[in-house]
Amino acid sequence: MTDPYPRDLVGYGQTPPDPQWPGGARLAVQFVINYEEGGENSILHGDPASEAFLSEIVGAAPLLGVRHMNMESLYEYGSRAGWWRLHRLFTQRGIPVTVFGVAMALARNPEAVAAMKAANWEIASHGYRWIDYQYVDIETERAHIHKAIELHTQVTGSRPLGFYQGRTSPNTRRLVVEAGGFLYDADSYADDLPYWVREADQRHLVVPYTLDVNDMRFATPQGFNSGDQFFCYLRDTFD
């Protein structure tokens, strides 16, 4: 007897549940800020090469065995200036935010963490490192998830309840469930609504993320070239 097909291509189908959002709202929007600067690939972090993902350097390639000073400074802009611009934008409007924080990155900017806590924002775990775990062996990934929980708790003062690895392996969700203590993970793009899965013989909540209405598309082909384009795309998603 063959094993059942492991993917769910049906989901809620024609009968999605009524989520009953507070106040009779038609939809709920989760604003997420990914805090990754200081956790990316770098020989300073023990990696073999520099970062090459999602930068303003078109066609960037990893540089083996050396520091990529321009790439490093692009990431530093995020923690030094970009973060604070977003913090002001959301706090001035009283909009709650979930921060997906890479533990190594959070540890390198206590002032940013203090601002997240002062704003009463959720700080979910974005893993220990901001790297691709697709080909990372299971024991290393398991160790990184536990390190992420430990360092996140040390830096923020509380254990993370949400988890988003981003560049996952086939083992990520099982390792997250095995680690215990998480209310949800966001490592899915499969639906508009949260949904439940069975993982490691447990019922586990998935709150899907999006790569569609995501500002990373300013740095990818078929992406956005202006703020107006991004705004219109976001508006059209709701309308």
Residue 225 reports pLDDT greater than 90: no
Residue 222: predicted pLDDT? 66
* 24-208: CATH number: 3.20.20.370
Average confidence (pLDDT) over 123-138: 97
Residue 211: predicted pLDDT? 83
Residue 108 reports pLDDT greater than 60: yes
Average confidence (pLDDT) over 186-208: 96
Q: How confident is the model at residue 219 (pLDDT cuts 50, 70, 90)?
A: low
Long-range Cβ pairs for the range 142-151 (8 Å, 24+) = 142/171, 142/175, 142/178, 142/179, 145/175, 145/176, 145/179, 146/179, 147/103, 148/102, 148/103, 149/125, 149/179, 149/181, 151/103, 151/104, 151/106, 151/107
Residue 227: predicted pLDDT? 79
Residue 164: predicted pLDDT? 98
Q: Which pLDDT tens digit goes with each residue over 146-194?
A: 999 999 999 999 999 999 999 999 999 999 999 999 999 999 999 999 9
Residue 14 reports pLDDT greater than 80: yes
Where do the domains of the chain lie? 24-208
Residue 48 reports pLDDT greater than 90: yes
